[in-house]
Structure formats: C-alpha cells, structure tokens
Amino acid sequence: MNSTRLALVGIVAVATIALTGCQSASAPDSQGSAGADSSLSDVQDAGVLTIGTEGTYRPFTFHDASGDLTGFDVEIATAVAEKLGVEPEFQETQWDAIFAGLDAGRFDIIANQVSITDEREEKYELSEPYTVSPGVVIVASDNTDIDSLESLEGKTTAQSLSSNWYELAQQNGAKVEAVEGWAQAVALLEQGRVDATLNDKLTFLDYTTTEAGAGETLKVAAETDDPSRNAFVVKKGQTALIDAVNDALVELRADGTLAEISEKYFGEDVTE
C-alpha cells in the first residue's frame, strides 16, 4: 500500500510540474505583447492625438479674438499630429496641473513650452527641442537695482511654482510670489507688487509687441547664459510615440514648416 501511494504521489508531482511549466511558457502569449510599448499604435488606432496645453500662455497657446485656440505650440503640435496621420485634440488645463493630467492619462502629450531638465528627463520622455531661447529677468523700466541674476538676492519675483523659472529665482536668493502664469506675473510687476519676473525671452518679446506701451514700462535687466530648450512630453516608457514625434519634427524642419510657424510669431526661426 505504501509503495502504491508513493508511486501515485510521484505521478501527481510530475504532472503538476509539467502543468506549471506549460502555464509559464504560455503566459506571455496569453497576455499578448505584455510590456510592449503600444503608445504610438494606440494613438494611431484612436485616430486622435490628445494634447495637454494651457490655452492662456501667449504666444504659445492662447485664444484669439474669435475664441479659437491658437499659438506657436498649438500650430506645431497640430503639424506633428498631421505627420502622425491623426487628428489633434487639445485639452486645456492650468500649468500647475498639466503634468498630473498627463500622469492620469487625460492626454497623450504636453505641448506647452516645457523646458528640458534633468528631473523631467528622469520622469518623462521628452522630444528633441522645438524652441531654443534664453531666459530673461524682466523689471520695470525705471528699476536700477536689478541688472543680473545675482542681484535678485532679497528681491521678490512672481513665478509659477512648478516652473524652472521658479527654481532659478530661488537659486539666486529671490523671494517668490506664486502665480498661475505669465499674465498674472506681469500684472503684479506692473502694479509694483513684485520687483521682477523671470521668463522666456520670446514671451517677453511677444508681450512688448502686442501690448501697447509695454515696451516703455518694462525692460530686460539680464539674460541667462544657457538658453532654454523646450520639448513635447509623454509618459515614461512611451518611446514609440516620442520617437514618432521626433521623426515628425525632423520632417517639419526639413520642409520649412517649423521656420514658417516661427517667423509668423517671432519674426525669426527660434526652433534651433
């Protein structure tokens, strides 16, 4: 009896091992391409590239007199979507919530002058830059106290808390007044409630050319040594999608589309 029971136990054990082995071998097939990056095919299957943007950041993403969403980033993102063979669909959100929106899957990509930083490159996939511009310290035209980044020590600047300009202001000893974006920062500066604001030079140039008298009341007190490089952003691991975006940018640069859009908004090519 004992030998018979042992034989049966052995048979069951062998069968169990064999079954387990079969299950392990078939697991990847049962999951399809488990772990594969389907970010590009998902977008192409949907026929839509959902794009997160502010809609309040002139001249990059804003509403024109007719209420339509437009801007430098909007036009380039639209051109990229066309190269991917899909329709662009914009989802507007405040800057301080834009990365959370990407993380939550509300949109596929961010198009909002996102500066390339080491921290962002660790957490997200960033495209090649499509805008290159120095940062500037903007002050009232009669300000004589600020003429460099170092002279921001002890002064008050207005910045979005999640922007790289906030970090730069803090690094140079400034006290930072939190704002939602450029418009609020400039309003506080013009009202004399802050001493300065740091931002992209292109934003300032657009402001002085579109707002009457702005060129007389504000000035650039200093420029950063290293230009800001700005990119599209997708979730970490979505290399197929970001590679396709980079390929689209190469094509758009080669066929003159990037330069044409750039000239429209800034009078020169700021894309490289």
The one-letter code for the residue type at 45 is D
Distance in angstroms (rounded) separating the CA atoms of residues 9 and 3: 10
Task: Report the mean per-residue pLDDT for the chain.
Answer: 88
What is the chain's pLDDT, residue by residue, as a tens digit (272 residues)? 444 443 444 444 444 434 344 333 333 333 334 468 999 999 999 999 999 999 998 889 999 999 999 999 999 999 999 999 999 999 999 999 999 999 999 999 999 999 999 999 999 999 999 999 899 999 999 999 999 999 999 999 999 988 889 999 999 999 999 999 899 999 999 999 999 999 988 888 788 877 888 888 999 999 998 888 999 999 999 999 999 999 999 999 999 999 999 988 887 788 98
46-72: per-residue pLDDT in tens? 999 999 999 998 889 999 999 999 999
Confirm if 195 and 143 have CB atoms less than 8 A apart. yes
Reduced DSSP (H G I as helix, E B as strand, rest coil) percent helix, strand, coil of the chain, to 5: 45, 25, 30
- In order of their start, the domains of the chain are 39-132+229-266 (3.40.190.10), 135-223 (3.40.190.10)
Confirm if 255 and 123 have CB atoms less than 8 A apart. no
Provide the terminal-to-terminal Cα distance of the chain, rounded to the nearest Å. Answer: 84
